[in-house]
Amino acid sequence: MGVTDFEAVVLGNGEVTVRDRRTGELMHPGLGPEREAELLYVRQTRLAERLREATSEPLRVLDVGLGAATNALAMIRCAGETPRTRELRLTSLERDDGALRLALAESERFPLQERHRALLEELLEGSRVERPGLRWTWLRGEALEALDRLEAPQDVLCFDPFSPEANPEMWSVAALRRFRGALAPGGVLSTYSASTRTRVTLLLAGFWVGAGAPAAVKKETTVASDGLAALDAPLGSRWLQRWRRSSARAPHGASELTPEVEREVLAHPQFSVARGESAC
């Protein structure tokens, strides 16, 4: 796998992104790379607010799917612009450096990566970058295997692998349970997918799940956590009603919904917590 497995593509809005030739999938096809990274993995995770918390503990962020490093660079920019006392400890998971090497090779088409060339080349060379207030580590290889090498639970999970169709092993209940196990108390997962299957899978994996901000053609994205506190719009009775009518009620990796899985979804404590009517 390498640079030739990827190509630069111009989106309808004029922004340039990366396509994986093997799967045909685009990175950040909706809003474009930089805006989508800012919306989903900086604002939606309340990254600046978390960096300002009055604690000496570092803020640990897991970047699931380094790609061309757009998400990681958005988080690093936020950390650099935020008055804070917390160190950002960013860990990226990625098995293939081809997208990042492509972005650096075509610098005129990827100005963000060009502005951070020295940082990115250091990461490519040694899989680790340290700056004042920042430690960035790249755990190369298969993401699920790399989870065992995390130094501590993560406060933020930026979940941005390719789609369930192209990368099914990352979206299974078993895989998402692994990511749930890597989440620190009060932590949050943000992802671009708002499909019913994704949300069912997250619920079965032990997350509490809510609707996230819209992103271009997507009316919603998804936020998940270990409770309601981090969710502005938790899934509630109206979502359950839509789910019961849906033709895609099963989790990723299952062809149909079994009675046992249906009971497990309905028994999730998220749906029995006494609260006002959810927006979802």
Q: Of 248, 220, 218, 247, which is closest to residue 234 (Cα–Cα)?
A: 220
Res 29: pLDDT: 85
pLDDT of 280 reads: 64
H or E element, residue 174 = helix 173-181
171: tokens are 């979206």
Residue ranges of domains in the chain? 3-271
In 74-230, beta strands by DSSP E: 88-94, 128-131, 134-140, 154-159, 183-191, 208-211, 222-225
Residue pair 279/211 in contact (Cβ under 8 Å)? The answer is: yes
Question: What pLDDT, on a 0 to 100 scale, did the predictor assign at position 217?
Answer: 65
Residue 41 is given by DSSP the state I
Specify the pLDDT at position 215: 81
Query: What number of H helices and E strands is found in the chain?
Result: 11, 10
Rounded to the nearest 10 degrees, the angle between the axes of helix 117-126 and helix 98-105 is 150
Q: Return per-residue pLDDT of the chain as tens, 280 residues.
A: 578 899 999 998 888 999 999 999 999 887 889 999 999 999 999 999 999 999 999 999 999 999 999 999 999 999 999 999 899 999 999 999 999 999 999 999 999 999 999 999 999 999 999 999 999 999 999 999 999 999 999 999 999 999 999 999 999 999 999 999 999 999 999 999 999 999 999 999 999 999 999 886 678 999 999 999 999 999 999 999 999 999 999 999 998 999 999 999 999 999 987 444 445 6
**Regarding the domain delimited by 3-271, which CATH topology (the fold level of the hierarchy) does it fall under?**
Rossmann fold (3.40.50)
pLDDT of residue 169: 96
